[in-house]
Structure 1
Amino acid sequence: MARQLLNQGDKNFLVYAGTGTDLIFNHGLELPGFASFPLLEQPDTRAILAGQMQALVDLAREMNVGCILDAPTWMANADRAAPLGYDPEQLVEVNKDAVSLVEDVRRAAVREDVLVSASIGPRFDPYADIPQVSVEDAHQYHAAQMHSLKDTTVDLVTAYTFNRPNEATGCILAARDAGLPIIMSLVVETDGCLAGGTKLVDAIDQIDGESDTAAMFFMVNCAHPTHFAGALGNHPRLRGMVANASSCSHAELDEADELDEGDPVELGKQIAKIARSNPSVQVFGGCCGTDMRHLKLIASGLA
């Protein structure tokens, strides 16, 4: 169903990847390692996670667009969950439980244009100085999380903030092997390039070539429109923009003690302008620092 709905190309979809900053700054919650999945364990914080997705469903209904609900599994992989005390067996149940939470929201919506996705994160902090990972190592590594998701009700998986082509390729191959449709979302620096200096469109071509175009399509996320506006190049395989509210660099945001929500009105105008130059884009959303105000203004600008 995900491929059919998203490949029709005549409907826009909203996503909300800014849940982490919302949880920290607006709900006053602690997210060790920026992991939100531990919040599944308590009824009150579990309800907050469900509420974030319900707000997205409500906005999508109001704006007459579809939406993709991401389960809070971005950090639910072996290396990033281990310091939090989760072993591989526990992570299998965490991934399944996270999907079930979002599935409950989708089921209550009773709409065909509400899709359930599991958020997939990179093996290491994407903004840290980390060693290069081979395609095969990434393939094997991400296979564990994909395996835990393949028998759930997810329509697809969405890999967010990948900035190394080898790992992105391996992750796509792992999803393909598990029979899971995947959207690959890359993150760029303020110059519109990936961390290693590769141009966004070149990275897409490289990853596509090494994965036999197994991804459904590509997106860019966790960057401000001023960072990626000139990098999209109307690439036909780039079909999503999930923007930060702030124009600060990743290093500056990591050190911030207060939420930088940017200018929601201006953000909506910037996304609409980029969309006019990149008509293939149909998935829009907010990443760090955004909330439903930003998403509503983005949807309004597009309309």
Structure 2
Amino acid sequence: MTKLKLPHQTNDLFITDGGLETVMVFQKEIDLPLFASFTLLGSENGRNALRDYFSDYFELADKHKITLLLDTPTWRANRDWCNKLGLKTKEIQALNLKCVSFMRNLQAQHAQTDSLISGCIGPRNDGYVVTERMTMEEAYEYHSEQVATLASADVDLITALTLNYPDEAIGIVKAAKECNMPVVISFTTETDGRLPDGSSLKDAIETVDKTTGGGPDYYMVNCAHPTHFETALLAGECWTKRIKGIRTNASCKSHAELDECEVLDDGDPVELAMQVKNIVDQHPSINILGGCCGTDIRHVSKMLA
């Protein structure tokens, strides 16, 4: 693990990348079965595309002398999604380790830039729709496999992205704490600022904190446009200070509308950056900026302009 401070340990600014999967599918015209970015490691062209993609963010972080948070391409690398792609248990473990190794090599190639590697966990099912909802115990049992594998590779932290109900988050937190890993929970919201299961962002965060004894080191919001959740972040309420990062979508469309899009909606990078800055101005505890679906290096660059 690195000796660099994690985002919750400092007020320094951090950046993440943007929408890896949407860049690969819509801009690079690379097929990602089941939206699984780890499939890129299966070919030289795919590996080169990943290197080129992240190199832009290393350059941006170096330009501004800030730390880059690198998520492993393992958002879809849990048992159910991998099984759909024909992978078995031992292959899944090896795949997760291979993803970390790839990111470590990329990090070494850009050693002049401060960076952290986050072991990325995705939802068991669809991030946009709550299906086959798990209890917190079932979520712990399910996600422990991937969390333990990523922890064994000495990632700097575990980050669960695009979660849509609290119980799954609680299970992931318990699995990470069992491995003595810093853990981050990132919820997604619908256009009304609520999670897809109907929970308010406030209730989701407070439920996870209460159940896990404040287990997450911090929270994030991802895969939502700023206009979807800005009103949910009531300035001055204590729970909002638990949110350290936002990874926004470029489009203000709903999740259902995005699922139907055959053409990328990359929004307006300048407008998006202004909307992100407005949120940060009201919530100075937020020190991680990045993108999600539809965003690329242009959008994240404008957030730093």
SS in 2 for 1:4: coil
Which of 259, 270, 276 is 2:275 aligned to? Answer: 270
Is the 1:117–1:156 contact (alpha carbons within 8 Å) kept by the matching residues of 2? yes
Give the drift of 1:129.
4.5
Query: One-letter code of the match for 1:63?
Result: H
TM-score normalised by the chain length of structure 1: 0.95
Between the aligned partners of 2:8 and 2:36, the Cα distance in structure 1 is 31
RMSD across aligned positions (CA): 1.4
Structure 1 gap segments, 5+ residues each: none
Between the aligned partners of 2:192 and 2:153, the Cα distance in structure 1 is 38
SS in 2 for 1:266: helix
Between the aligned partners of 1:107 and 1:174, the Cα distance in structure 2 is 29
Which of 238, 241, 252 is 2:243 aligned to? Answer: 238
Once the two structures are superposed, the pairs formed by residues 139-178 of structure 1 within 5 Å of their partners are 139-178=140-179
Alignment correspondent of 2:265: 260
Does residue 298 of the first structure (1) align with residue 298 of the second (2)? no
Between the aligned partners of 1:17 and 1:171, the Cα distance in structure 2 is 23
Is the 1:232–1:238 contact (alpha carbons within 8 Å) kept by the matching residues of 2? no
Give the drift of 1:38.
1.4
Alignment correspondent of 1:79: 80
Give the drift of 1:93.
0.7
| CA displacement, residues 8-44 of structure 1 (integer Å, 9 cap, x when unaligned) | 4331111124100000001111111111111111111
Does residue 52 of the first structure (1) align with residue 57 of the second (2)? no
Does residue 136 of the first structure (1) align with residue 137 of the second (2)? yes
Between the aligned partners of 2:18 and 2:122, the Cα distance in structure 1 is 12
Alignment correspondent of 1:286: 291
Alignment correspondent of 2:223: 222
Once the two structures are superposed, the pairs formed by residues 18-57 of structure 1 within 5 Å of their partners are 18-57=19-58
Alignment correspondent of 1:93: 94
| CA displacement, residues 112-134 of structure 1 (integer Å, 9 cap, x when unaligned) | 73101121101111223512210
Between the aligned partners of 2:134 and 2:6, the Cα distance in structure 1 is 33
Between the aligned partners of 2:161 and 2:112, the Cα distance in structure 1 is 25
Is the 1:5–1:113 contact (alpha carbons within 8 Å) kept by the matching residues of 2? no
| CA displacement, residues 150-187 of structure 1 (integer Å, 9 cap, x when unaligned) | 22131112110001100011011111112221111000
Q: Which stretch of the first structure deviates more once superposed, 126-135 or 224-233? A: 126-135
Runs of 4+ in 1 over 6 A off after TM superposition: none
Give the drift of 1:79.
0.7
Between the aligned partners of 2:272 and 2:3, the Cα distance in structure 1 is 28
Query: One-letter code of the match for 2:107?
Result: R
| CA displacement, residues 86-111 of structure 1 (integer Å, 9 cap, x when unaligned) | 11110111101101111112122224
Structure 2 gap segments, 5+ residues each: none
Query: One-letter code of the match for 2:109?
Result: A
Is the 2:61–2:113 contact (alpha carbons within 8 Å) kept by the matching residues of 1? no
How many percent identity over aligned positions? Answer: 39
Is the 2:18–2:292 contact (alpha carbons within 8 Å) kept by the matching residues of 1? yes
Between the aligned partners of 1:166 and 1:111, the Cα distance in structure 2 is 40
Which of 249, 253, 259 is 1:248 aligned to? Answer: 253
SS in 1 for 2:160: strand
Between the aligned partners of 1:218 and 1:259, the Cα distance in structure 2 is 28
Is the 2:226–2:276 contact (alpha carbons within 8 Å) kept by the matching residues of 1? yes
Between the aligned partners of 1:206 and 1:33, the Cα distance in structure 2 is 31
Does residue 113 of the first structure (1) align with residue 118 of the second (2)? no
Query: One-letter code of the match for 1:192?
Result: G
Query: One-letter code of the match for 2:301?
Result: K
Does residue 185 of the first structure (1) align with residue 170 of the second (2)? no
Is the 1:224–1:243 contact (alpha carbons within 8 Å) kept by the matching residues of 2? yes
Between the aligned partners of 2:114 and 2:232, the Cα distance in structure 1 is 29
Between the aligned partners of 1:83 and 1:155, the Cα distance in structure 2 is 29
Is the 1:14–1:284 contact (alpha carbons within 8 Å) kept by the matching residues of 2? yes
Between the aligned partners of 2:159 and 2:49, the Cα distance in structure 1 is 21
